[in-house]
Amino acid sequence: MKNHKTTFLSILLLIPAYAFASGDQILSSLLIIVTSVIVFSILLISLKFSRTRKLAFTIVYFSTLFFILYWISDIPYFKNMNTINSCLTLIPIGTVILTYLILRISTKK
């Protein structure tokens, strides 16, 4: 377990270096992404779902997150900072909730 903590700490320490290399404005978005992935992981581990549901939620969450990152890659960050940060926060949460509702409805039938 100690090895995992060291790896996790190393990754967290490298995040600001990546952000400052590309400009310090991206730091807030990067922290939003890291925080949302950590919160998503903690919630996924703590909730009692089957492995297939957890896998479905994980696939939907990360595919949505990567799609958003690809979609916003050509948008000027400084002019659209609030929109980009809102998209990075709300859209993945919304797609996971929508996936949960779809799976809940499909299992009731």
What digits encode the pLDDT tens for the residues 16-58?
655 555 555 677 777 888 888 888 888 888 888 888 888 988 9
Of 71, 59, 65, nearest to 30 (Cα)? Answer: 65
Mean pLDDT (whole number) for 86-99: 89
Chain center to CA of 53: 17
pLDDT-derived band at 88, boundaries 50, 70, 90: confident
**What is the average pLDDT score of the chain?**
80
Q: Can you tell me whether residue 74 is helix, strand or coil?
A: coil
pLDDT value of position 45 = 86
Distance CA 96, CA 57 (A): 6
Average pLDDT over residues 58-80: 87
CB 85 within 8 A of CB 35: no
Tokens of 98: 């929508």
Residue-range domain boundaries for the chain: 2-108
